[in-house]
Amino acid sequence: MPTYPPRNVSETAANMALIRALETAKPNRQRLFSDPFARRFLPAWQRALVTPAKIPPWRRMLESFFDRQAPGARTSGAARTRLIDDWTRAAVRNGAAQVVIMGAGFDCRALRLDELRLSSVFELERREMLNLKSRFLADTSASHVRRVPIDFLNEQPEDCLVASGYSPTVKSLFILEGVTNYLDRSAVDSVFNLFSHSAPGSRMIFTYVHIDAINGTFPAPGLTALLERLRNLGEAWTFGFRPEDMPDYLAQRDLRIVADLSATDYRAIYWRQPMLLKGYEFYRAVLAEKTNAAR
């Protein structure tokens, strides 16, 4: 195992791994998904805490501690992971033969979803994160995965992908989970331009943060403390959309919205008693499809 914490690790990517590791510790019939790789990415002290999380009172104590620190992050993060798993499986069943996971962090869908084993998967991330991920997963077989280094703020995803064997004429799925909020307008436009140049029927799954959360005015518990914590981590949120602007933004790129769900919506799909779960209502997940219009 690589030593931890290494330099240049994304703390927010490691946090998603913690959410997935906690969910995976639940019994089969209770959990929303299983990510057996997630715990590998945790620092040793967190791994030590999560290992006994199969014991329900211990797990509930960890969950309630987590929920007090960041209201809604765990419950929305787990529901979102499951939602994106479901949308991903549907896109692959619908013929997407290439899956491009942007800002992949410690996302292990390429390994844990059997449906992706027959696809070409491209994982785009910062070089240091990709190197670290490859070291943590050194014992896994992932010949269908190509890890493509990129800095979205300074490089064009289309150039990096084509150089790595991606074909724009093949029906594809693009996944951008937890990433647009770290970019700027020009980098977000480049990602959507890539999608708009893809084969008809391609799909894109992406998350975005409501713009009022970026400027701190969205009414959600714990938002001010969350924004301050992100700034202290050096991973401040920098970009958001207004949901009402989304249909036009996509239509201008020959893309159609299939669903645009708030955390309240997707928690209601997967959690029992979702009305008891509060926080992160500003964190949205979108499924969009490339229309047949020629440009």
Ligand X SMILES: C[S@@+](CC[C@H](N)C(=O)[O-])C[C@H]1O[C@@H](n2cnc3c(N)ncnc32)[C@H](O)[C@@H]1O
Residues near ligand X (CB under 6 A):
10, 12-13, 16, 103-107, 125-126, 129, 150-153, 177-179, 182
Minimal distance, residue 108 CB to ligand X, in Å: 9
Rounded Cα distance, 16 and 97, in Å:
26
Minimal distance, residue 45 CB to ligand X, in Å: 20
Q: Output 53 or 283, the one with its CB closest to ligand X.
A: 283
Q: Output 18 or 53, the one with its CB closest to ligand X.
A: 18
Examine residue 5 and say whether the peptide bond preceding it is cis (omega within 30 degrees of 0): yes
Rounded Cα distance, 236 and 151, in Å:
16
CB 240 within 8 A of CB 217: no
Q: Output 38 or 277, the one with its CB closest to ligand X.
A: 38
Q: Output 16 or 53, the one with its CB closest to ligand X.
A: 16
Q: Output 62 or 187, the one with its CB closest to ligand X.
A: 187
Nearest to residue 9, comparing CAs of 122, 135, 99? 135
Minimal distance, residue 179 CB to ligand X, in Å: 5
Rounded Cα distance, 293 and 282, in Å:
32
Sign of the four-CA dihedral 174, 128, 161, 294: positive
Minimal distance, residue 293 CB to ligand X, in Å: 29
CB-closest chain residue to ligand X: 105
Residue 291 structure tokens: 């229309």
CA triple 234-33-55, angle to 5 deg: 90
Helix (H, G, I), strand (E, B) or coil at 259: strand
Minimal distance, residue 190 CB to ligand X, in Å: 11
